[in-house]
Structure 1
Amino acid sequence: MSQLHDTIESVDNEAVLLVGHGSRREKSNEQVRELAAMLEDRLEIPVDAAFLELAEPAIEDGIEGLAAAVDSITVVQLSLFAASHVKNDVPLAVQRARSTHEAEINNGAHLGIHPAIVDLLDDRARAVESDLGVDREEDEIAVVVCGRGSSDPDANADLHKLARLLHEGRDFSTVEASFIGITEPTLDDSLSTLAKQRPDAVVVVPYMLGDGVLTGRIREWTDDFDAEYPYVDALAGDPLGTDSRLLDVLGDRWQEARTDSVEMSCDTCKYKVDLTGYEEDTGGARAMLRALTHQETHADRSDVDDEPHTHDAPEKHVAVCTNQTCAADGAPAVLEGLRQAARDSEQCDARITRSSCLGRCGEGPIVAVYPENVWYGGVNADDTERIVSSHLDRDRIVSDLVDQTL
């Protein structure tokens, strides 16, 4: 049961920023704004919406819009699972905002595993059963919970856990987790495997927030399966949408963040521990650099709105630490010097951005060059032209400035 079913502590001068992914499909963005309005009614404090990418306002702009009017802002993430956006991009944006605003900024967790979501999935399955004219207490019904899929094993594992929780205590013959792409098993594979079990019906529940390209693909693949296997009735249901039970989850994540009780699954996070097949992802600095590159290099995909996005990355990405210590040592001048030298160069293909603390306080300003993972320390404005002309233009590391390599 949601913590909001209990008495909510009195809230003074506080606001919430609900962060969605963002889409070129405006209907998906409106869903985030609708949930923000619903959450505002529930919490009785201001709630604004912001987006990771592809829509406005960005997280930093959303925080800026609230910071002048309140003393405390809690960022609540409208993300299903904890993959790179949750673990890298949102914390990076929050840390940047903390360095420029006096308001307290709390960062909440993703939606994750929650009893309200299990109940919501159960209702989505029941709706499909009704459309098919079957009854789980009398018929053999298999359920497939289909997610988008991620390169983060932690996120993929949570979908399997959610599927198992949906199976427990309910009269389904089986409940399987499946994915539309990126990882396995794919929906096609899962449906083909279930056909061999000859259930009376297969119910496919899209585990997504909005109804877009990917949910359309899930329905298409399910319809193809239904036509290919006439002895099994199959139908795909609706995504989560703006069901009010999501407010129970969002409200709990808000309470956790503002009371310093956020819990993340760090024991199985590929950025924290060595997992077989993901060894190169371990290490917060690498994750941060990948997050910076990800934010800066989304390609324009005007042809397909919610297609899993591709990237048109520059050859190099440069991050300049502008946190308090490095800033006092001249980091702003280093940042501007690098940008000016890059503009003057005819060869340089690099994006140069500021970053939050890189953990080398007292040895900066720190300049990190990706993908080589070369960190320069003690850089001053006079060094910037050398870094551009040697490293960024000609791949020649400026050895006397190297602080460390990752």
Structure 2
Amino acid sequence: MSTPDESHIGTPPSVDDEAILLIGHGSRREKSNDQVRDLAAALESRLDIPVDAAFLELATPAIDEALAELATVTARVTVVHCSLFAASHVKNDVPLALEQSRAELDIRIDNGAHLGIHPAIIDLLDDRAAAVEAELGVDRTEDDVAVVLCGRGSSDPDANGDVHKLARLLYEGREFTRVEATFVGVTEPTLEETLHGVAKHRPDAVVALPYMLGDGVLTQRVRDRTADFDADYPYVDALAGDPLGTDSRLLDVFADRWQEARTGSVEMSCDTCKYKVDLEGYEEDVGGARAMLRALAHQEAHADRESVADEPHTHDAPGKHVAVCTNRTCAEMGSPTVLERLRQTARDSDHCDARITRTSCLGRCGDGPMVAVYPDGIWYGDVDAADADRIVSSHLERDRIVSDLVDQTL
């Protein structure tokens, strides 16, 4: 949905006036949240600059709260992700939260990439496998040892594809008989299917590696299903290993992602992103509008939990969300001016409960500048700065659609 802020490419900030925000997913298990906080503290010691932790959901502080706090002590914040792969949280939810904070705070925010595939992570997984081999009493140089690398599973093909790539890289140059990628939910192959498939090759041992950061519900699910498999196949010894946890090698990855973000060299896999290109089975997901809708729906879902007594965290969703396409064609037609006029007019209004952010291509090139208002599903086209005033005074303040600007409704 959003790309890294490119306004400062080529001018990396001084570390004397910079902080890092390490963003974790968030969990109802405080132990998992503490792992993120421990990593933040360790990264601060490694880099010798302030590092705070924040969470996308289910834990505090929220991203906007953490950024508001950091804005009181620094002018620049670099966001570093704990997310393992680039699925919807990395592509949609965090960028949306950052755009909202950019609109509200006088602070530079650089957005980094997910942890992704990194040599330090492959070495860490190799050590996790070796620890299981030692516990089982097998040696990959003498025994047939198969590894099952188990990811969480995603509806994003990019993320799932990277699990398979990571499994292949773990196999290359090592004496495992095979390394298979599998998933604990959402997509296939499932962990049970993969374990039963590996058993047909009759290895001496099967090592199940949960490719997860924290030791939570999903990690326990990997352990339980591996234990069930071990009981069902007496001729194969099977055991699950530990998650990545707070191993110091993760700090190497965080440091690299920090440097990429602060120097404007973040690279995302846009050639296989379902929001950017047509992929078989994901055609309806193409376009910034689809990504934005998903992110907004996610945010609204957490706002709806305010009445739940045991819900530790909710997002504060606005009454309306306005997205202005600033992709190349719309930008050339004046969308940045429209964006700023909308923001200024909304700030001056006493009755406008809306957040106004940039978005990538809405798929209406040539009909812009495009402005989309949600949850109403109204798209305005050919909008100029003067029209911005009418959108705020009529639509955002009084729920009256500006009919002569409507391009389409969803």
TM-score with structure 1 setting the length:
0.82
| Distance in structure 2 (CA, Å) of the matches to 1:321 and 1:9 | 29
Q: CA separation in 1, counterparts of 2:191 and 2:378?
A: 37
Question: 1:373–1:191: structure 2 CA closer, same or farther, 3 Å change rule?
Answer: farther
> Which residue of 1 is the match for residue 373 of structure 2?
368
**Aligned counterpart, 1:319:** 321
Residue 399 of structure 1: CA displacement? 4.9
Match of 1:241 among 216, 239, 245: 245
Query: Match for residue 122 of structure 2?
Result: 118
**Shift of residue 371 of structure 1?**
7.9
Query: Does the 8 A contact of 2:288 with 2:359 survive in 1?
Result: no
**Structure 1 residue 381: deviation in Å?**
2.8
Contact 2:370 2:380 in 1 (8 A): no
Write the letter of the residue equivalent to 1:132.
Answer: L
Task: Tell me which residue corresponds to 1:78.
Answer: 82
Q: Is the 8 A contact 2:150 2:181 kept in 1?
A: yes
How far is the alpha carbon of 1:273 from its aligned partner?
Answer: 0.6
What stretches of structure 1 move > 6 A for 4+ residues in a row? 301-305, 362-365
Q: In the alignment, which of 293, 298, 323 is matched to residue 297 of structure 2?
A: 293
Tell me the residue number matched to 2:357.
Answer: 356
Task: Describe how 1:152-301 pairs up with structure 2 within 5 A.
Answer: 152-298=156-302
CA distance in 2, matches of 1:154, 1:363: 30
Distance 1:364 1:382, change over 3 A: farther
2:397 is the counterpart of 1:381: no
Q: Residues 145 and 326 (structure 1 numbering): CA distance in 2 closer, same or farther, change over 3 Å?
A: same
CA distance in 1, matches of 2:123, 2:226: 23
Distance change >3 Å, CA 402–CA 13, structure 1 → 2: same
Bigger RCO of structures 1 and 2 (CA < 8 A, at least 6 apart): 2
Paired residue type of 1:101: L
Q: Which amino acid aligns with 1:98?
A: R
The answer to whether residue 138 in structure 2 is matched with residue 134 in structure 1 is yes
CA contact 1:36–1:47 (8 Å) conserved in 2: yes
Is 1:105 the counterpart of 2:106? The answer is no
Asked whether the equivalents of residues 378 and 406 of structure 2 are also in contact (C-alpha less than 8 Å), the reply is: no
Question: What percentage of residue pairs aligned between the two structures are identical?
Answer: 63
1:336 is the counterpart of 2:336:
no
In the other structure, the counterpart of 1:309 is none
Q: In 1, are the aligned partners of 2:320 and 2:396 still within 8 Å (CA)?
A: no
1:122, CA displacement in angstroms?
Answer: 0.3
Distance 1:26 1:117 in 2: 24
* Post-superposition CA distance 1:89-144 (Å, at most 9, x none): 11122222222333321111000000000000000000000111100000001000
The aligned counterpart of 1:392 is none
Q: 1:367 Cα shift?
A: 5.0
* Structure 1 pair 156–400 and aligned structure 2 pair: CA distance change class (3 A): same
**Cα RMSD (Å):** 3.1
Distance 1:242 1:333 in 2: 46
Show the counterpart of 1:349.
none
CA offsets 1:274-312 (integer angstroms, 9 cap, x no match): 10100111101221122112112137598999xxxxxxx
Choose 97-106 or 123-132, whichever is displaced more.
Answer: 97-106
Give deviations 1:351-391, integer Å, cap 9, x for gaps.
Answer: xx52312579x989945234856458642434458747xxx
Deviation string, structure 1 residues 304-340 (Cα, Å, up to 9, x no partner)? 99xxxxxxxx9xx842359422123x33578935x6x
Q: Distance in 1 between matches of 2:218 and 2:376?
A: 31
Equivalent residues of 2:93, 2:295 under 8 A apart: yes
Report Cα offsets for 1:177-217 as digits up to 9, x if no partner. Answer: 00001000000000010111100000000000011111111
1:326 and 1:364 in contact (8 A); partners too:
no
Which residue of 42, 48, 54 maps to 1:44? Answer: 48
- Counterpart Cα distance in 2 of 1:331 and 1:303: 33
Show structure 1 runs of 5+ residues with no match.
Answer: 1-7, 306-313, 340-352, 389-396
1:76 and 1:26 map into 2 onto residues whose CA distance is 21
- CA distance in structure 2 between the partners assigned to 1:279 and 1:287 by the alignment: 13
| 1:207-238 deviations in Å (ceiling 9; x for gaps) | 00011111111111101100001001100010
Superposition deviation, residue 71 in structure 1: 2.4
Q: Distance in 2 between matches of 1:123 and 1:201?
A: 16
Amino acid paired to 1:355? I
* Distance change >3 Å, CA 285–CA 173, structure 1 → 2: same
Compared with structure 1, are the counterparts of its residues 371 and 187 closer, same or farther at alpha carbon in structure 2 (3 Å cutoff)? farther
Matched, 1:25 2:37: no
Deviation at 1:79, TM superposition (A): 0.4
Matches within 5 A, 1:51-90: 51-90=55-94
Alpha carbons of structure 1 residues 384 and 10: separation in structure 2 relative to 1, 3 Å? closer
Query: Could you give the per-residue CA deviations for residues 257-286 of structure 1, whole angstroms, max 9, x where no partner exists?
Result: 111111111111111111010011110122
